[in-house]
Amino acid sequence: MKSENGPISSAFVTKGISTFKESCELVRALPYRRNSTKNDKLIVLKEEYGTCSSKHKLLKILAEENDIKSCKLILCMFKMSGGNTPKIKGVLDKYGLKYIPEAHTYLAIDGKVNDFTFPDEPELFYLNDILYTEEIAAEQIRKYKAESHRAYLKEWGERNGLSFTFEELWEIREECIAVLAL
């Protein structure tokens, strides 16, 4: 990895990182937390934390700068439950839900799932609960991921005859995410 490959590569080289693998491990070690902005490609390195979206977008762009074609950015929807995400069990119980669909991203490198979201949870807790997956571009992380998630959640609530409005379901989801960030 060379700094002249692009701004993301340069930022990692400045931190003493010289390989894609080292970059992935650095990003994994950073805490899970929402960043202050989604407009800065380097925000994860500046704030030293991030979400699945900001962390994987950063690494996908780094892979592109370094011509690592085997690295794919994957958007999935999974059943986020108390079983696979124990911290949110209380929130779901409060609303009488077994799970709530959650959008998540990860990298598929050489066809293998790699998730760099949580420093202490490298295991893929959600793999058995995936509802669907699709490859997306780094630029789609922000708008497309949010639109897909909202559409899926709305359709899921309607299909299952839930008494919650879409807005209420989104607030329940936000409550779950807030618990994860603690």
Structure confidence at residue 121 (pLDDT):
64
Q: Where are the domains of the chain?
A: 3-65, 76-180
pTM: 0.90
Share of the chain above pLDDT 70, in %: 98
Which are the contacts of 126, defined by CB distance < 8 A and separation ≥ 6? 76, 78, 79, 80, 84, 85, 104
Q: Report d(CA 29, CA 31) in Å as an integer.
A: 7
| E strand or H helix that includes residue 73 | strand 71-81
Residues 14-25 have a mean pLDDT of: 96
- By the 8 A CB rule, do 163 and 121 touch? no
Q: Report d(CA 161, CA 163) in Å as an integer.
A: 6
Q: What angle do CA 55, 27, 119 make, to 5 degrees?
A: 100
Q: pLDDT tens digit string along 44-53?
A: 999 999 999 9
Q: Report d(CA 46, CA 35) in Å as an integer.
A: 10
Q: pLDDT tens digit string along 4-14?
A: 889 999 999 99
